[in-house]
């Protein structure tokens, strides 16, 4: 794995990411509480393509804060930036080996419902693989950071004061004792069948993908399964959570063991994707692949 892009040093980059992340937390917390957002953002924005007012305003405000903040801090860096909010109007430029992938608000329904289970995802990807991930969970005051540089992984959590705590995977290994973390909003019959066949011990319901992976990193859960339904997740759903989880030593792959690949023209992350604390990852993948062969024989895992 290559180091960071030419002219970019790790410590200054992390300093900027911390500042921008907590600014993003301030913005989202203000919108979530119907308060005036800071940093010059409007309380209500008119969005031509619809949306739920404050949610769309929050998306766009965080999007602007992060993209402009990175561009201003590193004006000469050899990377470009793509976001869920801009991807439909932005073609991938093949001249860039490095790209930031942003989801300014992952877990929109949970944001609306007031569960607190929403997150900001930001990942630095080299060609098709993530090397740095940021998962911010504003309501818990958690900033998860993961680095995969020069073949070495490290991950940790910080609070707003900069106090760090390590990843604490559970020691559960047998499938019957694992805790699955699952969505309350995105489930279909095939997923229910797959989960039954995996025979995992218990289930924890959580919103955003970032929040799900954080539950694994804290040891509250052990495995997350994404099975494409009517729509598949996108790069910005998976890149940052994957980077942090894998940097911590966990597993995140397709059920056939293949790595996720980013920066395709569709941005789709389709198939049967499994994220885990790593202890039982290979067994989970084997069981899932076998189960999907009977549940949906033509499904590309």
- For the chain, give every residue range classified as CATH 3.30.540.10: 10-166
Render pLDDT for 235-252 as a digit per residue (tens, 0 to 9). Answer: 999 999 999 999 999 999
Tell me yes or no: is domain 10-166 CATH 3.30.390.30.
no
The Cα 10–Cα 18 span in angstroms is: 12
- For the chain, give every residue range classified as CATH 3.40.190.80: 175-295
Look at the domain 175-295 and name its fold: D-Maltodextrin-Binding Protein; domain 2 (3.40.190)
pLDDT at 50: 47
The Cα 13–Cα 19 span in angstroms is: 10
pLDDT surpasses 90 at 1: no
pLDDT at 42: 85
The residues, ordered by sequence, that sit 6+ positions from 46 with a Cβ below 8 Å of its Cβ are none
Angle separating helix axes 54-73 and 10-32, nearest 10 degrees: 160
Q: Do residues 191 and 272 touch, judged by C-beta distance below 8 A?
A: no
The residues, ordered by sequence, that sit 6+ positions from 113 with a Cβ below 8 Å of its Cβ are none
Render pLDDT for 108-155 as a digit per residue (tens, 0 to 9). Answer: 888 988 999 999 999 999 999 999 999 999 999 999 999 998 878 999
Kindly list the distances between the CA atom of residue 140 and the CA atoms of 115, 233, 258, in Å, as whole numbers in the listed order.
11, 24, 32
| pTM of structure | 0.94
Strands 272-276, 223-227: pairing kind: antiparallel
| Strand positions, DSSP E, 138-262 | 142-149, 152-158, 164-166, 179-182, 202-205, 223-227, 251-254
Closest CA to 6 of 118, 126, 110: 126
Lowest mean pLDDT among 21-30, 51-60, 97-106, 174-183: 51-60
Render pLDDT for 5-18 as a digit per residue (tens, 0 to 9). Answer: 999 999 999 999 99
pLDDT surpasses 60 at 175: yes
pLDDT surpasses 80 at 182: yes
Higher confidence at residue 153 or residue 265? 153
């Amino acid at each position: 794995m290559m180091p960071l892009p030419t002219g970019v040093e790790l410590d200054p980059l992390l300093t900027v990411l911390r500042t921008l992340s907590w600014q993003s937390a301030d913005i989202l917390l203000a919108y979530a509480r119907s308060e005036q957002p800071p940093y010059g953002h409007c309380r209500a924005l008119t969005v031509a393509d619809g949306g739920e007012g404050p949610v769309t305003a929050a998306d766009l405000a965080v999007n602007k804060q992060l993209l402009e903040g990175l561009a201003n801090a590193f004006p000469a860096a050899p990377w470009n930036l793509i976001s869920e909010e801009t991807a439909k109007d932005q073609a991938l430029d093949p001249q860039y080996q490095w790209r930031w992938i942003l989801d300014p608000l992952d877990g929109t329904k949970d944001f609306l419902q007031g569960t607190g289970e929403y997150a900001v995802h930001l990942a630095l990807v080299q060609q098709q693989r993530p090397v740095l991930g940021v998962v911010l969970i504003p309501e818990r005051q958690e900033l998860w950071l993961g680095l995969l540089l020069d073949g070495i992984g490290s991950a940790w959590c910080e609070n707003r004061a900069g106090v760090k705590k390590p990843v604490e995977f559970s020691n559960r290994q047998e499938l019957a004792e694992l805790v699955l973390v699952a969505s309350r909003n995105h489930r279909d019959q095939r997923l229910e069948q797959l989960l039954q066949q995996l025979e995992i011990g218990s289930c924890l319901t959580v919103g955003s993908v970032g929040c799900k992976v954080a539950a694994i990193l804290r040891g509250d859960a052990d495995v997350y399964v994404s099975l494409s339904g009517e729509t598949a997740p996108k790069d910005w759903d998976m890149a940052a959570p994957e980077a942090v989880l894998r940097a911590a030593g966990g597993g995140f792959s397709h059920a056939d063991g293949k790595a996720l690949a980013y920066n395709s023209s569709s941005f789709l992350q389709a198939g049967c994707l499994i994220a885990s604390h790593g202890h039982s990852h290979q067994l989970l993948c084997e069981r899932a692949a076998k189960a999907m062969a009977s549940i949906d024989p033509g499904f590309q895992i």
